[in-house]
Structure 1
Amino acid sequence: MDLQELTKKNQEFVTIASHQLRKDGKSEKEIEQIFDDIMPSILENQKKGITARNLLGAPTIWAKSHSETTSDNSQGGVAATNKNPWLMWLDSSLMLLGFFGVLYGLMALTDKNYQHSYGILTTLIIAFSGGAVLYALYYFVYQHAGKPKEERPKLWKSLLYMAVFTLIWIAFVGISSLIPAQLNPVLPGIATIIIGGLSFGLKYFLKKRYNIQSSLAAQPQPERQKK
């Protein structure tokens, strides 16, 4: 592979990933084929300032997941999920937008005394900031579930992450509720239900299209799959 076109960070990604693939038993020809397939995407995103790590995740995890995909396919299993941070954030955000949209809409339609205080802009901020919080919790806590004890964060640290990120989300909710009503109109119940339904539909489409890893659940580790 010619790495001259890559930035130093992307060269480092390829080096680490190649080392892991060799550890997983891949031949040099197989490794070359893997990078031949992904290199155009790395180069294209490099022009946009997106590193291979941001695009594909940690190099060792990406390499392992690629090996797991080959192994799983040979056994008729399910391919490894896509852990692209942006897709995982969007997946979680659409889930929250769908949930709150349908919830607020149904309450507005079924309860005449219900006073929906959240405008559309506030709802969007709640959903997409919540999606970021869910991804952060996955990154720091959930993805380590199932790993050996020494590789998992300590319980107190996990609880601290949960508390801090939850407080950040609450802060976003509080600040967004101060947006003037002129910029943040409250939509009719049927409109919010439609937005919620479309959000669920888009989430389902993207999930099927890109096999996105959920931020709410850790991917099973190989050791646990063998048991």
Structure 2
Amino acid sequence: MKKDKKNDAQEEVADLTALQDENRGLFEQLTHKNEDYMVKLNKRLEDADFSNDRRTVLFNDMLKTLVSEQSAGRTARQIYGTVTERYLEMVDGPRLDTKETTGERSEDWKLYVDGGLMLGGMFALVTGLSALFSKSGTASGMGILTLILNFIIGGFVVLAITKNAPIKGQKGSTLRYFLVSVVGMLIWVAVMTLSMLFIPPVINPILPPIANVVIGILAFAGKWYFKRKFNVKGTLF
């Protein structure tokens, strides 16, 4: 019986040694950004007296995932969240917090770009198609400056709406979401309308309808690529 226990202990040590060797090899394959992430996480766990054996086992899974995913451009932060978030999850286990009740959201700049491409592309596409199929033949596409404002303002509007999305169990969140959505859309429409009415055509030349349609399609394609490339989470669509 004692011999069996001794053999089990030896096998466990051998397994940990093999994992440590594998971890060193995987660590050398990390990008600079992912390497920095793992170094900071390891330091946090060391300070919390997280055992070396446990870190070895958990890091093995993480390192394998990082090496596999970084070839697609995904970083440790995109996969595991911030160093602090990953540290707390490893120490305390998964927690029910705001991110879990609302769905994890990416950084504001990602939500802004994604939203601008979506709303801007939608307006450009609708405007272009309306002009193309107008029976009166008087409809036209948007001006260049109006089109630019469309994407810029659209990004801010969608960002505001996204960040005020209802939170389950929180009173008043639905009303706030409704008000922000209405006000945001009104501001967006007002800016588009005023820019078309008051910006002189000489600096805001009208694009042909087909150009608006092409820009709208390219914007939606760009949104799809951006969301996939940067793993954008928590968007409206």
**TM-score, normalised to structure 2's length?**
0.52
Map of 1:126 onto structure 2: 150
Distance in 2 (CA, whole Å) between partners of 1:90 and 1:98 is 12
Structure 1 segments unaligned to the other structure (5+ residues): 1-13, 38-54, 72-79, 218-227
Where does structure 1 differ by over 6 angstroms across 4 or more consecutive aligned residues?
Answer: none
Map of 2:130 onto structure 1: 107
Is 1:173 the counterpart of 2:169? The answer is no
Is 1:63 the counterpart of 2:81? The answer is no
**TM-score, normalised to structure 1's length?**
0.54
Secondary structure at the counterpart of residue 215 of structure 1: coil
Larger radius of gyration: 2
* Paired residues of 1:141 and 1:153 also in contact (CA < 8 A): no
Map of 2:112 onto structure 1: 89
Distance in 2 (CA, whole Å) between partners of 1:191 and 1:167 is 26
1:181 alignment partner AA: P
Map of 1:136 onto structure 2: 160
C-alpha displacement of 1:174? 3.7
Distance 1:162 1:190, change over 3 A: closer
Distance in 2 (CA, whole Å) between partners of 1:159 and 1:82 is 19
2:189 alignment partner AA: I
Distance in 2 (CA, whole Å) between partners of 1:109 and 1:171 is 23
* Paired residues of 1:82 and 1:211 also in contact (CA < 8 A): no
* Paired residues of 1:104 and 1:189 also in contact (CA < 8 A): yes
C-alpha displacement of 1:188? 1.0
Over the matched positions of the two proteins, sequence identity in percent amounts to 28
Distance in 2 (CA, whole Å) between partners of 1:215 and 1:156 is 19
Distance in 2 (CA, whole Å) between partners of 1:107 and 1:129 is 22
RMSD value, Cα: 4.0
2:108 alignment partner AA: P
Secondary structure at the counterpart of residue 184 of structure 1: coil
Q: Deviations over 1:133-152 (max 9, x none)?
A: 1111111224x2xx3x1x35
Distance 1:153 1:196, change over 3 A: same
Distance in 2 (CA, whole Å) between partners of 1:102 and 1:176 is 18
C-alpha displacement of 1:28? 9.2
Structure 2 segments unaligned to the other structure (5+ residues): 1-39, 67-76, 95-102
